[in-house]
Chain A
Amino acid sequence: MTSLSMKRRRATAARAWQQFRSSRQGMIGLLVLLGFVAMALAAPLFADIDELNPVISRANGNPQWGSPSEFFPLGTDHLRRSVWAQFVWGSRVSLFVGLAATVLTILIGSVVGVVSGFVGGRLDAALMRLTEWFLVIPFLPLAIVLASILGRNVWNIIFVIGVTSWPSTARLVRAQVLTVKQRLFVDRARSLGAGKGHLVTRHILPNVSGLILANATLAVPISILTETTLSFLGLGDPSSASWGKTLEEAFVNGAMIRNAWWYFLPAGLGILIVVLAFTLIGRTLEEIADPRLGAR
């Protein structure tokens, strides 16, 4: 890449960051999210992983169904495990699955969208038919069916979410590619002898990347909520418990009838806050990528 276009691109990124920084909701979302990411990455600093082990919890003399006043800071569950430790370590799984599934979603959606919009013709028609089909099929039952057949494992969950939620991204990217394709600079590059690869990587992709980023940020909440629901329904990975898995165990073991609010409140609040943070960031990015929305 020439230094000129590098410089221009860096200037665009700097301008976007400037705009982002001036948005209060975007910055709040970003700070909250960074807090949770830090907790997930530095989980061992916040809670010992041994506290997730029922045998060690029993040996430590933890109370069963201990309330926060009996066991600092968030009480214990039916297996005497610290709820705080489950919250800290669960954030790792929930965030990781949410992000990884979104990467897969965006990857499939962008490839389908760019190919469909750029190549056009029969391939476009076939890909859009497939996209439409995936849009029509009820998303959660499809994910449930796939996850039941594939088995309870983190990677299967990521695969299932990615494979079922790409269509809306594909449509959005395709539409954007179609408008970019009409622009004069693409014609000019083509008449100067640019190949397809050059056109896609140097002209089309840079012009849809902002939209893809905004779309990705807004797709994370869907991934996280889907993971939570699948885990709650018993399709989560038993060996690495996400927040959704915590909610399932709380529900199945009767935390609600006991009014053991400390067991199911933190995990749900964690999901709510992380999802809100991503939504705030995504909406801000969307406004930057598509200034017409700013008027709202």
Chain B
Amino acid sequence: MRKALGSLLTLAFVLVFNFFLFRVVQDDPIGSLFRGRNVPAQTVENLRIAFGLDQPLLTQFFYYIRETFQLNFGISYQSRQPVWSEITAAVPATVALVGVSAVLSAVIGTVGGVIAAWRRNTWKDHTITSGTMVFYSMPDFWLGMLLLVFFAVVLGWFPVGGITDAGTTETGLALLLDRLHHMFLPAATLTLAYLGEYALVTRSSLLDVMGEDYLTVARAKGLRDAVVRRKHAVPNALLPVVTLTAINLGFVLSGAIAVEAVFSWPGLGKATADAIRGPDLPMLQGLFLVFSAAVIVFNLLADLAYAWLDPRVEGA
């Protein structure tokens, strides 16, 4: 209950921050709409009234809150469509791409981390640890560029971008396969980019657990190594991984901005990259709000999941 209240407070803070950022810091919203083109003074004045910019700041703030709750984020400068419909149109592509990558990276990363910790200081551990560190140290979009050039341009195994072949009339299974074909490279990029974090967290968490007395007891009972690992060590080591997963799920919406741009994947990330080029400020404002809300909601869920999985934190 206290946590839910805290999340609401954070969300309110985001709203205020967003308002000040776009209405106060940016001194001339109408001017940026025309960007230097010559517009009659009367038109500018009409627009100022239409946007409520002639009102005092507090009234403007009130309007802004009301419009936000009505999901009215204004009109995109670039597409001339409502920001909200642009955003909702882009959500499914992003959720599909980043959702798949998040699950794959969590699973592969966790397994890698378990192997690395259990076989600590062997060649397996060194390969996994240094390999993940390399992927962790490169810009994710550059990894995407490399994969794209090699697998799509040189080898021609995969399309260079988009979500379906241009002008496709396929339906049903064929359409799904076409989409998966397009999704392969961006999903592989994101999976490789994310899994290092999971592997490292799992490894260090399992190493902590491996020093615990109950594992010695389990071994003393004569349990086989694999049983000790699967039944006793790993379940307890997974707690931080669960938190990490939940937190990362919050970043699902905003996690792939540059990678989506590389692969022209028509999701929120590409929408953000396109909005920057404008700059399409109403679009950026709406996107920022949606990204923040997603993170706040999933953080709350992470806290709740943690309290449920580990009763010890209840009192904390």
Contacts and interface: CB of A to CB of B under 8 A. Distances in A.
A136 B299 contact: yes
Nearest to A135: B299
| From A144, A244, A264, residue with most partner B Cβ within 10 Å | A144
Interface residue SS majority, chain A: helix
A233 B295 contact: no
Contacts, number: 112
Contacts of B261: 232-233
Contact of A272 (B26, B137, B257, B285): B137
Contacts of B272: 141, 144, 233
A148 B281 contact: yes
A213 to B, nearest CB: 20
Nearest to B14: A137
A177 B92 CA distance: 46
Contacts of A136: 10, 292, 295-296, 299
A235 B284 CA distance: 14
A271 interface: yes
A142 B141 contact: no
Given A264-B142, A271-B142, A229 B258 contact: yes
Interface in B190-239: 204, 207
| From A250, A276, A279, residue with most partner B Cβ within 10 Å | A276
B291 A141 contact: yes
Interface residues on A, range: 35 or more
Contacts of B142: 228, 247, 264, 268, 271-272
Contact of A256 (B134, B153, B277): B153
B87 interface: no
Given A141-B287, A229-B141, A256-B160, 20 more contacts: A136-B292, A136-B296, A137-B295, A140-B257, A141-B272, A145-B285, A148-B281, A244-B139, A247-B141, A251-B145, A259-B153, A268-B139, A268-B145, A271-B138, A271-B142, A272-B137, A275-B137, A276-B133, A279-B133, A296-B207
Of all A-B residue pairs in the complex, the 10 with the closest CB atoms, nearest first, are A268-B142, A275-B137, A141-B291, A272-B138, A138-B254, A148-B279, A138-B291, A276-B137, A228-B139, A145-B288
Interface of B: 10, 13-14, 21-22, 25-26, 133-134, 137-139, 141-142, 145-146, 148-149, 153-154, 160, 204, 207, 250-251, 254, 257-258, 261-262, 272-273, 276-277, 279, 281, 284-285, 287-288, 291-292, 294-296, 299
5 contacts: A149-B26, A232-B258, A251-B145, A256-B149, A268-B139
